[in-house]
Structure 1
């Protein structure tokens, strides 16, 4: 600020001195020129009433260095000139001052010489015999005058400029020094000049506004960071050079890193050629998307450019979605297969009957096959619809008090003939009452007891035990059948999965029974487990919270 004040003051002083010098020179020039013209007019007017003869007597005594005089006849012929022989001068009748003098009694004119840098003033007066007396004086032009007095003037101007320079410097220092000592942190600041009071108030207001904006910005930044940290999706921000700006908590868990990743290259976070290429494209303004697999998990990666900041990368965990999609595709394929098998059998039997290829005594056998496959088809469709309702989260209202032992006994009665046919005994022990959907509990127990009968041995048994406490309700369905291997136990609740495919086909199973059981248990907030060994039977344990 001091330098600026000094430069301005020094500039003003220099400009002022130059302007004053120029004005004085111009005034002096005009004063000198006016005085010279007045002297010529005064001398010429002394001869106004004389004739050329008498004027000639006096004009011969005028020295050329005083002024130049010429005597010119009425016809423009030069009769006398005290500086040049009259015979060497031409006709002067067309001269401006001569024409005015002959017509008006007196005349004047100015002629400039750019070569010599001079200005000549002519004044003419008509004498009594109509001849013309002309006087003239040559003075330097204003440019020539400047040239003559320039050295002295320049020296004086330079002297004043130097004086002004040191004065301006000292004055600027005295003006600025109190301002530099102002404590702007005070509220309001104590200023040395009244002129700065409004400026100081403005600074205080701006400082207060900046502090408020800083607090709001920090609050907003903290809010954004808190939101990012609460997001399940991993979020990583990169600057325009591809350097990591921020990593939220989810992304830190995905890549097993922390805040130390900030400021590092993208390659230190994820060494993937496809990701590096997508990131470069995003830095050029193009959105990108890819699938990244890491530690048995699958992520959908969205790479979006952020103008003037860099790139935002989102890691969306789609593992469950991918698994669900895989299960859906497998389910669709299995449904198609399971539907095709009975329909093909029905179609083949009907085709043979309609073509008259079956003997009359064999027709009941074919009708029985058609009815059996149709029954299997209906059961399959009902199971699929049941699973669909459970997948949609519509298990019904759980407000009914269900007697578990009563429902289990109803299932045993319904399967009594089947148990007798397989030579399997079924027993129910214990009791318990819980709030549940009675129809779904019946479906669950029916499927478990039915499986225990179908996959049992002749002379075997199925035991249903119900145990209820304040903490939970436990239902155990065990059998003495063929058992399940450890490998099959991991997949037994998958749709259409059969541990013994040949026996399942013969028994008419759809492969959906245990999947339905698991969905019913989960719909009631419970859990189910299976144990057993091949040849030693199987045990299903269901636990419902109290």
Structure 2
């Protein structure tokens, strides 16, 4: 059947709703009552009663209405299930309703003496026969279609078309039956005489109808086992129709007791299925109402739980965000691994530290390839830890950066354990950059070495000459020379200690500055005069303006320029010329000290003012110094809101420029 499609699953409706034992028991009681009433009336079927004119219209208007309603309910179930067999039931009840209507309209003395449609006294009997023959045939058709097409269903469009075709076909069939039983009734055999059925009708029509209905009842019951609500009540309807015809065949004319009982059976046949369906539909509605209430209650509970869940989710999300921000803002690189060493989480500082992206699922030992611990390759250390060969550790590691610089780190690892279940969840690795610490340690070591050397040299000289003076008799000339040397070395030692103490005071902020208005030209003139001729160096002061005023601490600024001129003299041993410039330009005072000596390598310029730093050159190493002078200069100048700059060319000399804001009387100073 091309118009059918496979049935994916059973559709729950009144036709497929299983019947329970109580429902079947109630249906059997109704069937038993109908049977008993019919059997008890058999001995009295020929008892003639009075004609009740309103009985027929009342009973059959009810029959027609009930059967039409039943047909509509069955069709509504067809629209749900779209099973072909259901259309047969729809057609059967529609046909039964139509023939019932024709029967009452054609019955004599109801609406007309001989009935409507130009019918005769035989019409209602033949309509009755066709009516009671058509219903069991549609039941048999339903069983055949249900068996053959149980697992197929119409598509929505085809179901609508099939429904209309069934409706129109049934109407046409009723019209044909009405036509033959009214217009052509004279050509049909005579079956009724003086209100009594003739033996020919009983044998040739009545008994076959009873047999057909009985066989239909047996087949329907054994095929369905009254397993559904609809099939249970259809058994009662088929039984009532069979008893209807049986009592009519037992004798008794119109308006006899048997005739009235038969009509009552017709009434039972027409409404029993509808009553059962309405009853079950009402139960379904009540169950649905109860279910809807439970759903609404569940919906409310769900909304409450959903709200709580969403609030908890937001809280967890906010906490996760805070934790992630904390981890991201950490100065340490943090990596979380699972129990076998695969990366679960890593903050961005990992990539900054190691200049290599790290992704979730990467193997940490592979990522750390190329790093070294103090005693082995760091990759091997991590693998040994995950193999449980070594306990949690804290190690110093190093690597060479992409720029070729040696980087130093400290790595520590902690296992993550679920305290409640005592279960290992993973491992947390932390990496702390200690490159600057290493550099400072190296500088401190170098500083200690320099200080030791610088202190030892003057101390050795002082102790040696003091020992000579204390143990030997020397001439006055030598004594004076030795005392001068002791004094010189003592001053050297004192200057070294003072530099170190000045730097410590500047660092701690305990150094007090006494600001006053100073003439830069006069200040530099005094300092140049003190250094003039030192180590055969000629210092020339170039003053372009006689009145460049600055605001500063005179003693500390003298310390700055003494240091710079001293350096110029020390680092130009083969040149005797030093130029000092005092200039004023654009609201600033520039003091430049230029020598023509050794010069400074380009790669050392950015580190020149760092503490303890000395240019690594053999020509400079033999020149004394602690590497603190320029750092002190920078600290003092910046405390005056100034700048110190350097320009140099190796072998050509250097220019140190100190820049201050010009001080003007009456204007605020920075």
- TM interval, shorter chain, is 0.5 to 0.7
Residue pair 2:415, 2:427 contacting (<8 A) in 1 also? yes
CA distance in 2, matches of 1:209, 1:486: 66
Which of 384, 390, 395 is the matching residue for 2:500? 384
CA distance in 2, matches of 1:541, 1:346: 37
Which of 253, 265, 290 is the matching residue for 2:395? 290
Which of 613, 623, 637 is the matching residue for 1:504? 623
The residue aligned with 1:440 is 556
CA distance in 1, matches of 2:322, 2:532: 65
The residue aligned with 2:70 is none
Higher relative contact order (CA 8 A, sep 6+): 2
CA distance in 2, matches of 1:323, 1:378: 28
Residue pair 1:395, 1:437 contacting (<8 A) in 2 also? no
Q: How far did 1:298 drift?
A: 1.7
CA distance in 2, matches of 1:280, 1:458: 63
Which of 353, 359, 375 is the matching residue for 1:254? 353
Residue pair 1:293, 1:299 contacting (<8 A) in 2 also? yes
The residue aligned with 1:263 is 361
Residue pair 2:532, 2:538 contacting (<8 A) in 1 also? no
The residue aligned with 1:460 is 577
SS in 1 for 2:559: helix
Number of equivalent positions: 359
CA distance in 1, matches of 2:295, 2:606: 84
The residue aligned with 1:313 is 429
Q: What are structure 1's unaligned runs of at least 5 residues?
A: 1-165, 167-173, 183-189
Taking structure 2 as the reference length, the TM-score comes to 0.46
CA distance in 1, matches of 2:416, 2:582: 63
Distance 1:543 1:312, change over 3 A: farther
SS in 2 for 1:362: helix
CA distance in 2, matches of 1:283, 1:391: 49
Residue pair 1:427, 1:464 contacting (<8 A) in 2 also? yes
Q: How far did 1:191 drift?
A: 6.5
- Please give the per-residue CA displacement for 1:498-517, whole angstroms capped at 9, x wherever unaligned: 76458735xxx666433432
SS in 2 for 1:530: strand
The residue aligned with 1:277 is 381
The residue aligned with 2:542 is 427
Larger fraction in strand: 1
- Please give the per-residue CA displacement for 1:326-384, whole angstroms capped at 9, x wherever unaligned: 10111011111111111111111111121124234422222122112112111221122
Is residue 633 of structure 2 the alignment partner of residue 517 of structure 1?
A: yes
Residue pair 1:278, 1:303 contacting (<8 A) in 2 also? no
Superposed, which structure 2 residues align to 1:464-483 within 5 Å? 464-469=581-586, 474-483=590-599
Residue pair 2:540, 2:578 contacting (<8 A) in 1 also? yes
Distance 1:224 1:367, change over 3 A: same
SS in 2 for 1:425: strand
Q: How far did 1:270 drift?
A: 1.6
SS in 1 for 2:413: strand
CA distance in 2, matches of 1:395, 1:279: 53
The residue aligned with 1:89 is none
CA distance in 2, matches of 1:198, 1:461: 97
CA distance in 2, matches of 1:456, 1:428: 25
Which of 227, 230, 234 is the matching residue for 2:333? 234
CA distance in 1, matches of 2:350, 2:551: 42
Q: What are structure 2's unaligned runs of at least 5 residues?
A: 1-227, 229-279, 372-376, 419-424, 662-669
Q: How far did 1:321 drift?
A: 1.6
Distance 1:522 1:243, change over 3 A: farther
Is residue 506 of structure 2 the alignment partner of residue 407 of structure 1?
A: no
Distance 1:277 1:477, change over 3 A: same
The residue aligned with 1:59 is none
CA distance in 2, matches of 1:363, 1:278: 69
CA distance in 1, matches of 2:427, 2:622: 58
Larger fraction in helix: 2
Q: How far did 1:393 drift?
A: 4.9
CA distance in 1, matches of 2:438, 2:484: 43
SS in 1 for 2:341: coil
The residue aligned with 1:300 is 410
CA distance in 1, matches of 2:553, 2:290: 83
Is residue 291 of structure 2 the alignment partner of residue 192 of structure 1?
A: yes
CA RMSD of aligned residues (A): 4.1
The residue aligned with 1:495 is 612
SS in 2 for 1:504: coil
Is residue 440 of structure 2 the alignment partner of residue 342 of structure 1?
A: no
Q: How far did 1:484 drift?
A: 4.5
Residue pair 1:290, 1:300 contacting (<8 A) in 2 also? yes
Q: How far did 1:222 drift?
A: 1.6
Q: How far did 1:323 drift?
A: 0.6
CA distance in 2, matches of 1:456, 1:301: 49
User: Which deviates more from structure 2 when the two are superposed, residues 296-305 or residues 432-441?
Assistant: 432-441
The residue aligned with 1:219 is 318
Residue pair 2:600, 2:654 contacting (<8 A) in 1 also? yes
Q: How far did 1:199 drift?
A: 6.0
Taking structure 1 as the reference length, the TM-score comes to 0.56
Residue pair 2:644, 2:656 contacting (<8 A) in 1 also? no
Distance 1:393 1:490, change over 3 A: same
Superposed, which structure 2 residues align to 1:125-204 within 5 Å? 192=291, 201-204=300-303
CA distance in 2, matches of 1:191, 1:526: 87
